[in-house]
Amino acid sequence: MSRRNSRATARHYALQPQRTPPGSRPPPALQQAWALYARGERKSAESLCRSILATHAEDVGALSLLGILLAQSHRTEEAARLLEQVAARTPEDAAAHNNYGNALKDLGRYQKALACYERAIAIRPDYCDAFYNKGVTLHELQRYEEALASYERTVSLAPDHAPAWNNRGATLRALERLEQAVASHQRATALRPAYAEAHNNLGVALQELGRLEEAQESYRRAIALRPGYAEAYNNLGVALQKLERFDEALESLDRAIAANPEYAEAHNARGAVLKELERPEEALASHDRAIHIRPDYADAYSNRGAVLRGLKRYAEALGSYQRAIEIDPRCVNAYRNQGAALIDLKSFDEALASFERAIALQPDVSTYAAQGGVLLELKRSEEAVASYRRALELDPHAGFLLGTARHVRMQICDWDDFDADVAAIAAAIEADQRSARPFNVVSLIDSARLQRKASEIAVRAEISPRRKLAPIGRYPRHDRIRVGYVSADLRNHAVAILTAELFETHDRSRFEIIAMSLGPNIYDEFRTRIEPAFDQFLWVGDRSDHEIAELARSLEIDIAVDLGGYTGDARPRIMALRAAPVQVSYLGYLGTMGGEFMDYLIADPITVPPQACVHYTEQIAYLPSYQVNDSKRPIAEKLYSRTELGLPPDGFVFCCFNASYKITPPIFASWMRILDAVPGSVLFLLGGDAVKERNLREQAAAHGIGPHRLLFGGRLGNAEYLARYRSADLFLDTLPYNAGTTASDALWAGLPVLTCPGESFAARVAASVVTAAGLPELVAPDVAAYERLAIELAENPGRLAALKHRLAENRATCALFDTPTFTRNLESLYGRMYERYQKGLPPTRLDLLDEPLHDRIEHVNE
């Protein structure tokens, strides 16, 4: 974004008749020239001065007035020559030295100008104008403390000197003494209410204090006083952009450009607003125009790069950032923007270097947060936490920052201030503030109501498109229903692991299946397997959200199924643009999207009991069981010994391979009570991060449990990972974010899963999975029962063996792993959604269950 314009008022030329030396032309002619000047007849005054000098070449009065006339008409070199003669011929005339200094200043000869002002002040110590002009020159030289002293002296000599008060404010702003700057500009406007420049400068100072509403009112007053005031229109546009009033901002910037078509800053600011309005091609044209006007405009190159990044034109974006840095090695925005593009390209080391350079130049909340994210990607977790801490110190209320910082700390099980953070996040959501993004809330707060509110906040803040696509016209009835799966995870990822067989078993006589892959364009095990299952597999990761939504429309996809929601690299704005007439959320995100753009959420009566539907903006489409699975997943034949895995040869092995951010202090405390009650037992967790392992062992010690009783397993290939579950005795689930894929993993490998449902979708998904596996008795009604049941199973090997035997016997036939039946049920829902659409009916709750929902829910919670 361009900088705001805050200008110092022009210098003062001494406008008074000067003495003519003895023998010169009589004063009346010179007096007449001054009278013509006073009436605004400057050409006549100039002609008369030249006629005087034609016969009296050394007439200092005529030389002085002509020099002033020439200076004010920007013929500065000639003016300086004349005013130099005046100063030389009248060495004790303070005004002559002041005027000559002004001409030198206009020529950029600052040091000589300062010497002239000093000479004028030496002659006349109370010479207000000389002090004022000295202050202007020092400000230009960025010698702000000295400039301030000159302005202070000016207003002490002339308390009603409005330009000095105005310039004093501009200097205080440069010194970052913003409150004092505001007061100084206010004094200027009080002394001279029609002083447009002072109103504009007051707006700048107010804006830097974050008082945007007051700032834009000051700009408007400046414009009312001077309707063609380009700088004020530009500054107003910047303020309106910060207020997210983008259409008004664009109008103001257009007015600035109309007033001054060569105004590079306004073109640059206009480009930034057009980017916010999601009009990237126009934004590029504006930045290019700014660069054409000012080829060395680093900020315009940086902003141009940001637009190119949004268009996924990364090579061009990086080139634009590099050009900005070449022009101005201190261009902070270029380093920040460069780092963001490098993150997109997964070039994390280079991104980190960019952010470090930006921070060295200007510490900033967003840059520290971005640095933290990169450090986390580089597995430098403690440094990542430190970066987020610095960001929070700068602004604890920055949008979504607290939730992100807490999520990062959860990944390494750093639970200091956990309760305070969660309480602050919840309170902020209640107050409709941007404290945490939806995925972070789901993993921290078991409240379907607050989760919905957090999603609605995110939709307003980040998801709702400003440039909308036209409403979708009604498609003709297709021979096959066209279903488009949109996901960043159609590769070796939990989503693909669960859905591979679903894609393979779709009824291709009834459905045309299209993949829109947003993630990396790589051919790994799962991409290679699932790609042939689609009629079309389209990698669209290099396209913008608008382009992908338009592509989906061009393909006339009837039902778009979003498998990502608010997770990872998902792009919910594609759905917000309305990619298809029917849009469905499934599997990736366990909660409501919080926007009218999503028509259905697929669930079952366990994950979303009917009475909880009020907390979801979507209509619920009920399946008999929620989670799809792949019944073809291979399990390695290898039988791991306990010694091989670092487990004790004897003793009960509890395990949980859920992601570490799901482990909260309350559930960990519950696990420690279980270990305490089962002597010799151990807890087998997912390892791979030394900091996380250290923190968990320290927490165990704090609960009185020997750290050696926590054991960690490294990353393995899919088949070997499943085989490792055979070495454990019981899987302990997390709360409020349950196991999903990991629960299916454990059950597929033959390991029972103990869970405890909460209120929200994510807190109930494992109950659905365990019930679908035919083990509803492993769904504990509360945490106390969860602990009791874990202890009872550890102490009763026969009971646990019976559960394992039943699981093994039922694995091939239970609902959880009956993928063909699951697929037919899902296709039934798709068919009903499609028929409602074809009949012009709105989305409504759909239910495929044979038994009443109420009865099934009571059965699960027994």
CATH for 791 = 3.40.50.2000
**What is the C-alpha separation between 371 and 856, in angstroms, rounded?**
48
Angle of the 230-242 helix axis to the 212-225 helix axis, nearest 10: 160
CB 487 within 8 A of CB 539: no
**Mean pLDDT of the residues in the chain:** 94
Angle of the 94-106 helix axis to the 60-72 helix axis, nearest 10: 30
DSSP 407-427: HHHHHTT--TTHHHHHHHHHH
Which of 319, 347, 362 is the endpoint of a domain? 362
Chain centroid to CA 389: 17
**Beta-sheet strands, E only, within 388-529:** 481-487, 511-517
As for how many domains the chain has, the answer is: 4
List, for residues 185-208, the tens digit of each pLDDT value. Answer: 999 999 999 999 999 999 999 999
| Shared domain check, 802 and 823 | no
Which of 106, 126, 145 is the endpoint of a domain? 145
Residue 324 lies inside a defined structural domain of this protein: yes
Assign 17 a pLDDT band (cuts: 50, 70, 90).
low
| Shared domain check, 619 and 490 | yes
385 phi/psi in degrees, rounded to 5: -60, -40
Region 204-218: what's the mean pLDDT? 97
| Shared domain check, 665 and 544 | no
| Shared domain check, 824 and 745 | no
DSSP 758-820: -SSSTTTHHHHHHHHTT-GGGB-SSHHHHHHHHHHHHH-HHHHHHHHHHHHHHTTTSGGG-HH
Residue 822's contacts (CB-CB under 8 Å, 6 or more residues apart) are 502, 623, 625, 628, 629, 815
List, for residues 514-545, the tens digit of each pLDDT value. Answer: 999 999 999 999 999 999 999 999 999 999 99
- pLDDT at position 20 is 47
Torsion sign across C-alpha atoms 682, 685, 691, 695 = negative
Residue 539 lies inside a defined structural domain of this protein: yes
On the 0-12 / 13-18 / 19+ scale of CB atoms within 10 A, 385 is: buried
- Copy the structure tokens of residue 49: 């001065």
**What is the C-alpha separation between 775 and 534, in angstroms, rounded?**
34
Residue 411 lies inside a defined structural domain of this protein: no
Residue 341's contacts (CB-CB under 8 Å, 6 or more residues apart) are 305, 309, 314, 317, 318, 321
Cα–Cα nearest to 784, from 687, 707, 625, 669: 669
Region 298-318: what's the mean pLDDT? 97
List, for residues 434-478, the tens digit of each pLDDT value. Answer: 999 999 999 999 999 999 999 999 999 999 999 999 999 899 999
Assign 24 a pLDDT band (cuts: 50, 70, 90).
very low
| Shared domain check, 612 and 521 | yes
- Copy the structure tokens of residue 716: 């393995």
Judge whether residue 855 has pLDDT over 50: no
**What is the C-alpha separation between 828 and 815, in angstroms, rounded?**
16
CB 589 within 8 A of CB 439: yes
DSSP 345-413: TT-HHHHHHHHHHHHHH---HHHHHHHHHHHHHTT-HHHHHHHHHHHHHH-TTSTTHHHHHHHHHHHTT
- Copy the structure tokens of residue 200: 């504009």
| Shared domain check, 32 and 1 | yes
Q: Residues of the chain with pLDDT > 90: what percent?
A: 92
554 phi/psi in degrees, rounded to 5: -65, -30
| Shared domain check, 748 and 737 | yes
Amino acid at 636: A
Which of 362, 380, 400 is the endpoint of a domain? 362
Residue 57 lies inside a defined structural domain of this protein: yes
Residue 515 lies inside a defined structural domain of this protein: yes
Residue 744 lies inside a defined structural domain of this protein: yes
On the 0-12 / 13-18 / 19+ scale of CB atoms within 10 A, 473 is: exposed
Supply the CATH number for residue 835's domain: 3.40.50.11380
List, for residues 368-413, the tens digit of each pLDDT value. Answer: 999 999 999 999 999 999 999 999 999 999 999 999 999 999 999 9
Residue 419 lies inside a defined structural domain of this protein: no
Preceding omega of 28 cis (within 30 degrees of 0): no
Assign 58 a pLDDT band (cuts: 50, 70, 90).
confident
| Shared domain check, 580 and 536 | yes
- Copy the structure tokens of residue 63: 């030389």
| Shared domain check, 537 and 525 | yes
- pLDDT at position 103 is 93
Q: Residues of the chain with pLDDT > 70: what percent?
A: 95
**Beta-sheet strands, E only, within 274-370:** none
List, for residues 720-768, the tens digit of each pLDDT value. Answer: 999 999 999 999 999 999 999 999 999 999 999 999 999 999 999 999 9
Structure-model confidence comparison of residues 823 and 851, the more confident one: 823
Task: Return the bridge partners of 515, or none.
Answer: 485, 537
| Shared domain check, 831 and 742 | no
Assign 28 a pLDDT band (cuts: 50, 70, 90).
confident
User: What is the number of other CB atoms lying within 10 angstroms of the CB of residue 312?
Assistant: 15
Cα–Cα nearest to 139, from 112, 160, 104, 164: 164
**What is the C-alpha separation between 835 and 847, in angstroms, rounded?**
15
Structure-model confidence comparison of residues 72 and 826, the more confident one: 826
Residue 277 lies inside a defined structural domain of this protein: no
CB 164 within 8 A of CB 157: no
**What is the C-alpha separation between 135 and 273, in angstroms, rounded?**
36
- pLDDT at position 859 is 38
- pLDDT at position 4 is 53
| Shared domain check, 621 and 717 | no
**What is the C-alpha separation between 343 and 105, in angstroms, rounded?**
47
- pLDDT at position 12 is 60
Supply the CATH number for residue 80's domain: 1.25.40.10
| Shared domain check, 700 and 606 | no
Q: Which domain holds residue 55?
A: 1-145
- pLDDT at position 848 is 82
- Order of strands, edge to edge, in the sheet holding 559-562? 536-539, 511-517, 481-487, 559-562, 582-585, 600-603, 619-622, 846-847
CB 154 within 8 A of CB 135: yes
The backbone region for 565, taken as left when phi is positive above 0, alpha when psi lies in -120 to 50, beta otherwise, is left
- Copy the structure tokens of residue 734: 């997390």
